[in-house]
């Protein structure tokens, strides 16, 4: 067992994870690997031949070079959290730009399944609770023109970095934004918080979500994403590559892009489509 402050967490165990998954998901999962330490679970999966990445899930007890969106590091102390990557080969050549948003929905479904409430998605795919970051998602794609595409979906979920622990104090020094963890958000959870339960729920929801995404595309998920939109109708600033733009977030379009309502100098408003950028809520 792994101890963190007064919270005791199970070590990740592939047999326990499989035992807690639903039969349809188990039929889709081909490999499940638990590593004691790696640079990042995404990198560990990407180093394998592509044919060994499909339907292969890798979890790590710790990461020495955990990676997040926009080349950020992901703080990954040992035995505290869930670091999970799942590979999948898509036989169709449909654009997969909305896959990160689908992964966020699947993560939210898994969190609700284990009893969490009130969590939301900050575009495109950060999971927040009361404005603090709980989980991040990094999707990396390999594709050939007109051919099949392969994705590695990485999820980092803060499970237990309690107040006063070494992990919490180090996180405060390293993480440059407000963050939270499951243990502090679910103090009354019956039987505590099991990382094996969490991993099983994440894999169940990811595998079933990918199956639905393959058959129906993003439109089957869009309404659910909008209901979980943390930025809906809020004033935000979007940092683009060379500039920034401010406006009111009005959800997403059919391609998963942020719809931003901006006011022009003449007082008229128009909608801009944001394909990529770093969003922050404006406090006025």
* Predicted local distance difference test score (pLDDT) of residue 23: 96
The number of C-alpha atoms within 13 Å of 105 and in the hemisphere containing its C-beta is 23
**Span 156-198, pLDDT tens digits:** 999 987 554 555 545 544 555 688 989 888 876 645 689 999 9
Question: According to CATH, what is the number of the domain 2-227?
Answer: 3.30.930.10
Q: In terms of Cα–Cα distance, which of 11, 129, 174 is closest to 81?
A: 11
Q: In terms of Cα–Cα distance, which of 163, 167, 201, 189 is closest to 79?
A: 167
Question: Within 10 Å of residue 71's Cβ, how many Cβ atoms?
Answer: 6
Q: How far apart are CA 86 and CA 77, in angstroms?
A: 20
| Percent of the chain with pLDDT strictly greater than 70 | 81
Kindly report the three-state secondary structure assignment for every residue of the chain.
Answer: CEEECCEEECCCCHHHHHHCCCHHHHHHCCEEEEECCECCHHHHHHCCCHHHHCCEEEEECCECCCECHHHCECCCCCCCCEEEEEEEEECCCCCCCCHHHHHHHHHHHHHHHCCCCCEEEECCCEEEECCEEEEEEEEEEEECCCCCEEEEEEEEECCCCCCCCHHHHHHHHHCCCCECCHHHHCCCCCCCCCHHHHHHHHHHHHHHHHHHHHHHCCHHHHHHHHHCECCCCCEEEEECCCCEEEEEEEEECCCCCEEEEEECCCCCEEEEEECCCEEEECCC
Q: Which positions of the chain have pLDDT values less than 50?
A: 1-7, 164, 169, 172-173, 190, 284
Q: What are phi and psi of 23, to 5 degrees?
A: -55, -40
**Span 69-107, pLDDT tens digits:** 555 655 666 678 899 999 999 987 567 889 999 999 999
End-to-end Cα spacing for the chain: 47
* Predicted local distance difference test score (pLDDT) of residue 193: 80
Residue in this structure with the two tokens 């023109």, named with its chain if needed = 145
Q: Which two tokens stand for residue 140?
A: 């990396």
Residue 257 near residue 241, CB atoms below 8 Å: no
Question: Within 10 Å of residue 81's Cβ, how many Cβ atoms?
Answer: 29
Locate the domains of the chain by residue range: 2-227, 235-281
Q: Which two tokens stand for residue 59?
A: 């979890």
* Predicted local distance difference test score (pLDDT) of residue 164: 47
Residue 161 near residue 88, CB atoms below 8 Å: no
> Under 8 Å CB-to-CB from 39, ≥6 apart: which residues?
63, 64, 65
Q: In terms of Cα–Cα distance, which of 133, 104, 107, 129 is closest to 118?
A: 129
* Predicted local distance difference test score (pLDDT) of residue 59: 96
Question: According to CATH, what is the number of the domain 235-281?
Answer: 2.30.30.100
* Predicted local distance difference test score (pLDDT) of residue 191: 56
């Amino acid at each position: 067992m792994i101890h963190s402050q007064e919270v005791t967490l199970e070590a990740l165990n592939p047999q326990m994870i499989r035992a807690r998954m639903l039969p349809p998901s188990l039929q889709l999962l081909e490999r499940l690997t638990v590593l004691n330490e790696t640079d990042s679970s995404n990198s560990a999966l990407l180093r394998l031949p592509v044919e060994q990445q499909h339907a292969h899930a890798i979890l790590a007890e710790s990461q020495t070079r955990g990676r997040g969106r926009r080349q950020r590091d992901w703080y990954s102390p040992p035995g505290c959290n869930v670091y999970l990557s799942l590979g999948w080969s898509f036989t169709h050549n449909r654009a997969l730009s909305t896959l990160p948003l689908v992964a966020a929905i699947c993560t939210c479904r898994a969190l609700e399944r284990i009893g969490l409430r009130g969590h939301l998605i900050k575009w495109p795919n950060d999971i927040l609770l009361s404005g603090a970051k709980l989980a991040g998602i990094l999707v990396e794609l390999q594709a050939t023109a007109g051919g099949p595409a392969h994705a590695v979906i990485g999820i980092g979920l803060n499970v237990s970095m309690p107040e006063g622990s070494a992990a919490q104090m180090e996180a405060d020094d390293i993480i440059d934004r407000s963050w939270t963890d499951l243990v502090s958000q679910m103090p009354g959870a019956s039987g505590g918080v099991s990382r094996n339960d969490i991993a099983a729920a994440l894999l169940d929801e990811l595998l079933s979500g990918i199956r639905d995404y393959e058959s129906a595309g993003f439109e089957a998920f869009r309404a659910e994403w909008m209901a979980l939109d943390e930025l809906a109708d809020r004033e935000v600033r979007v940092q683009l590559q060379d500039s920034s733009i401010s406006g009111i977030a009005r959800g997403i379009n059919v391609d998963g892009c942020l719809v931003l309502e901006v006011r022009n100098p003449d007082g008229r408003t128009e909608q801009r489509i944001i394909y990529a950028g770093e969003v922050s809520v404006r406090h006025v």
